[in-house]
Structure 1
Amino acid sequence: MEKTVVRNPIISGSNPDPNVLKVENTYYIAVSTFEWLPGIRVYQSEDLVNWQYKTDILTTQVNLQGNPRNCSIWAPQISFKEGKFYVLYTNVRSTRRPFKDCHNYYMTADSICGPWSDPVYLNSSGFDPSFFHDVDGKTWLLNEIWDYRLKTYNKSAGIVLQELDIVGKKLVGPVHKIFSGTALAKTEAPMLYKHEDYYYLFTAEGGTDKNHGVTICRSKTISGPYELSPYNSLITARDKPENPLQCTGHASLIENEFHQWFIVYLCTRPLEGKYAVLGRETAIQEVYWTADGWLRLKNKSSKPEGLVEIQTKNKAKQNMDSTFFDDFSHGLKTEWNSWKNLPTDGWCRLTEEGLEIVSGESLQSPFEPHILAIRQKDICFTAEVSMYFSPKHYNELAGLVYYLDEENYVYSFLTYDESLGTVLRIAQSTSGIFELLADVVAVDKSIKLKFVSSGIKGQYYYQKDDTWQIFGPQIAMEYSAESFTGSYIGISVQNMNTIAGSVGQFYYFKYKPEK
């Protein structure tokens, strides 16, 4: 037996709302994917130290087109019962106050890699669903409930519980409200565990920002009443502004083979105390059971820690290499994601030369923007693409995009100018305000583009005569600090004159971290 020191986060970049599960000797973490598809990314580990991409669950079964920004796939939960995997998730269709349109579904599979069943609809009373499989054979659904009558902006009203008829694939019996939350409010992310004589309810409270934390309560009966832990909050950074890990919450519980207990939770790493450029990431911390039957952090406080000791069979070394390269010679690598709609042969085609992307709608469209991108996993990074594009109109665009959502992005693209022919330009949208930068340069249709991020600043380059040339000003990207979803970097093609009217050819894409 060895001790391995692990540095948080254990999964970097936009990997929020982590839910951890152990099946036999393998650990899995599922995370939220929001508007990016495939949906519900799953990572795998044998030791809780190193995590590798394993699979995505929502590969054909979901339509996110038209969903507003920051909505879509929230807070998946994976569980296992009698040889079968279960996954739950919320498809959030609108968060416009006072209502919240959120529909909860579950799917099943014999393997974490599928094939997964068609989604089964459960309810729409609130988000963050989870299953609890009790020892008596019953399965229970928990979810946050939303009450539009509340005067507060956030209208989370507590946690409810209802039995699931697994055979009939439907909810049955009464709805039990088992927890109304504390004064921290914004009660969500319920997870239920049975340990010795008690049911333990985990919730996230305070909102998924600087006041975030984990609340624990317990009951000897599943429907309550639940008593609050005297050590609440289990973990929080709300009173620790100097801590490198912030916004800590949304936890789930796991025990390893050496009887160490851990919570896996979300966090941010804000620059200058306010710029969380990587979004919400996944972290881990050791906990223990007190003599009076409550959970506490091993450090006997509520402080999130950057370094954690994990017992392993053999000495392990944490590997956080985020380098990525794809020349499209063996299909699309699994790191790629698309916005709102899955890649199809109709717009994403592999050829002997590389990858063809057929034009979609504008980057501001919630329906058919044709974007392929990977998560930003490093505060400082370089992304580079080699491409060919032959525009004949200013409404034809193709290039390298740094993308948070349809209201916030920066894009360097090839297009057409009536005087100069094929040109390179930069466009930026910040909080929905679009700006076309004045910089214009005539370029070849075959070109290499590069984007270098140094936190909240970015700089584009293009290659001319085998030399990288700075293009445009240094770009302020404070919007990338929005902690909710995290930014992606990738490639895109548009034609606003004709549906599928243009094709961009991409020969390689690479990403590497910078110090």
Structure 2
Amino acid sequence: MKIENPVLPGFNADPSMIRVGDTYYIANSTFEWWPGVRLHESKDMVHWRLLPSPLNRRSQIDMRGNPSSGGVWAPDLSYADGKFWLVYSDVKIVNGAFKDCTNYLVTAEDIRGPWSEPIRINGVGFDASLFHDDDGRKYLVQQTWDFREYNHPFDGITLTEFDVETMRLRPETERTIWRGTDVKLVEGPHLYKINGMYYLFCAEGGTVWTHQEVVARSSTLDAMSFEGSPYDPFISNFDTPRSYLQKQGHGALVDTPSGEWYYASLCARPWHHENESVTDPRGWCTLGRETSIQKVEWTDDGWPVVVGGHGGQRVVEAPQDAIETEAPADHSQHDDFEASQLALDWNTLRVPFDESMGSVGGGTLTLRGQGSLCNLFDLSLVARRWQAFDFDASVGVRFDPTNYRQMAGLTNYYNDLCWSWAFVTWDEKRQCRVIEVAQNDFNTYTSFLRDRAVPVPDDVETVWLRTRVRTQTYGYDYSFDGEQWHDLGVELDAKILSDDYVNQRYGGFFTGAFVGLAAVDLSGYDATAEFVDFDYRELSE
């Protein structure tokens, strides 16, 4: 078998990979999206199955009002003492001098839960991970944030002992063990003990084109005792601009039962407009930061290196002892909404799906209109990741608005600043329902159809909406019978839904594009919309 990268396509960033017995698990960041932390499992590293998320109760994390790309940063998954340990951050400030965050710990005996109520750990910095030493002691390893303008904000890697008896840190043991290389922005630490030596893996360079992973080692955990690898960068695409995979860096190391080594890393796949350079700008990553896996070997002097060079490979040899895992051929999805709970592929923003947002079951997803798609508090949006560059997604909408402030439809969404949608609303001039297309581009809002908005006949109960995403561009269609489709005549630039576009003007750019269903009622009368037969169909590359 071959590992074909990325193994987790479409917004699966900051992988924390571990092995328990013959099974591998990966935990990924989810930021402001609910539920918190995305989990997958595999026995072959080739095929991955989505698992229930561990943070599925408001008592575990409260993200209402969090800024876009705040929330859950770089979760760390580990296994020790017969249970799973999960450390995660809740980041409340994204832009500016401060990164207010709180780090929490939850545990579970079964990866599928139930997971415990959270223990508040500290707020020293984000990207915290828990290291279980072979003498039974445990340590929190984390990026350290310095808000003072006269210091670099990424103030090295801090290690603090964790007391298992009290389930609390011992702040008096806090010490800086490494400050990284001259590339700076050292973060994402993971600590391992291999053949009696401590190996510290860290990301540097920011999670952009200059991203990289470096390695340091020490025989002790004393302050400033680590030395960097002469083979760094361990992984990076800064100097491989034409590689299929870009931005590789932040990740985690794992060994196989037979003694092979692999490294799971975030990555991204940029595309370009025909009139753009392939190096500047390097491209637009509408699928966000994904997960790749590279094979690792060790040098004679005891340092890890990526097989094939630090640029990584698109296709990698699977473990020799891999056990083939059943998983869907792609991420296509059809949802008839018969179940009383949302499927695992669905996500909401900041808070769980509950009666304040709507209901699901019996063939219908009902959404109660709340705030606009710019709202950070009260929003009725159910969405799933873009996981392919080319796909069609469609849904039937039943909606009877009484004013133009009431809207319901199909959206392509990056964050509260950048999104678009095709929706049903009310035209007070023509006194009828109409279909409109609009885009929000850094809060420049554009209604594309205006006086050309498509009137909906009075006898049409269900309006069908479809989006056609074709890598660089996307558009919207409508149908009154679900069979004959009509182009709404608006072609949009997909780059607006990418990390790289948002990064030009906003510090929170860590997620990826979603396609979803939304209902808005700015008049405050709780207008409800019904959605039926959602279909997301990936097209062959």
Q: CA deviation at 1:28?
A: 0.4
- Whole-angstrom distance in 1 between the partners of 2:167 and 2:137: 13
Aligned: 1:486 with 2:512: yes
Aligned with 2:497: secondary structure? helix
Aligned: 1:390 with 2:400: yes
- Whole-angstrom distance in 2 between the partners of 1:447 and 1:236: 47
- Whole-angstrom distance in 2 between the partners of 1:39 and 1:251: 18
Tell me the equivalent position of 1:476.
Answer: 493
Distance 1:136 1:143, change over 3 A: same
Tell me the equivalent position of 2:165.
Answer: 167
- Whole-angstrom distance in 1 between the partners of 2:351 and 2:527: 18
Q: CA deviation at 1:150?
A: 4.2
Name which of 287, 301, 313 aligns with 1:305.
313
- Whole-angstrom distance in 2 between the partners of 1:463 and 1:95: 41
Aligned: 1:454 with 2:465: no
Tell me the equivalent position of 1:357.
Answer: 367
- The 5 A counterparts of 1:228-243 are 228-243=228-243
Tell me the equivalent position of 2:48.
Answer: 51
Identity %: 33
Structure 1 segments (4+ residues) deviating >6 Å = none
- Whole-angstrom distance in 2 between the partners of 1:341 and 1:310: 38
Q: CA deviation at 1:316?
A: 4.8
Tell me the equivalent position of 1:95.
Answer: 94
Aligned: 1:284 with 2:282: no
Unaligned segments of structure 1, at least 5 residues:
none
Q: Aligned letter for 2:302?
A: G
- Whole-angstrom distance in 2 between the partners of 1:312 and 1:421: 64
Tell me the equivalent position of 1:8.
Answer: 5
Deviations 1:337-367 (A, max 9, x none): 0011110133221243412111121100000
Q: Aligned letter for 1:427?
A: A
Aligned with 1:478: secondary structure? helix
Deviations 1:8-48 (A, max 9, x none): 00010000000001111111000000111011010000111
Q: Aligned letter for 1:69?
A: S
Q: Aligned letter for 2:434?
A: V
| The structure with more strand, counted as a fraction of residues | 1
8 Å CA contact 2:13, 2:289 repeated in 1: yes
Name which of 470, 480, 498 aligns with 2:524.
498
- Whole-angstrom distance in 2 between the partners of 1:349 and 1:99: 38
Q: Aligned letter for 2:499?
A: E
Deviations 1:75-95 (A, max 9, x none): 001111111111001111002
Distance 1:254 1:351, change over 3 A: closer
Q: CA deviation at 1:314?
A: 6.7
Size of the aligned set, in residue pairs, is 509
- Whole-angstrom distance in 1 between the partners of 2:193 and 2:149: 32
Name which of 330, 334, 351 aligns with 2:339.
330
Q: CA deviation at 1:313?
A: 4.4
8 Å CA contact 1:39, 1:58 repeated in 2: yes
8 Å CA contact 2:4, 2:46 repeated in 1: no
- Whole-angstrom distance in 2 between the partners of 1:257 and 1:143: 28
8 Å CA contact 1:157, 1:181 repeated in 2: no
What root-mean-square deviation, in Å, do the aligned CA atoms of Structure 1 and Structure 2 show? 1.6
Scaled by the length of structure 1, the TM-score of the pair is: 0.96
Aligned with 1:141: secondary structure? strand
Name which of 419, 423, 436 aligns with 2:434.
423
8 Å CA contact 2:381, 2:519 repeated in 1: yes
Aligned: 1:367 with 2:377: yes
- Whole-angstrom distance in 1 between the partners of 2:174 and 2:302: 28
- Whole-angstrom distance in 2 between the partners of 1:162 and 1:472: 58
8 Å CA contact 2:336, 2:363 repeated in 1: no
- Whole-angstrom distance in 1 between the partners of 2:21 and 2:447: 54
Q: CA deviation at 1:456?
A: 2.8
Unaligned segments of structure 2, at least 5 residues:
273-281, 501-509
8 Å CA contact 1:72, 1:91 repeated in 2: yes
Aligned: 1:227 with 2:253: no
Q: CA deviation at 1:203?
A: 0.2
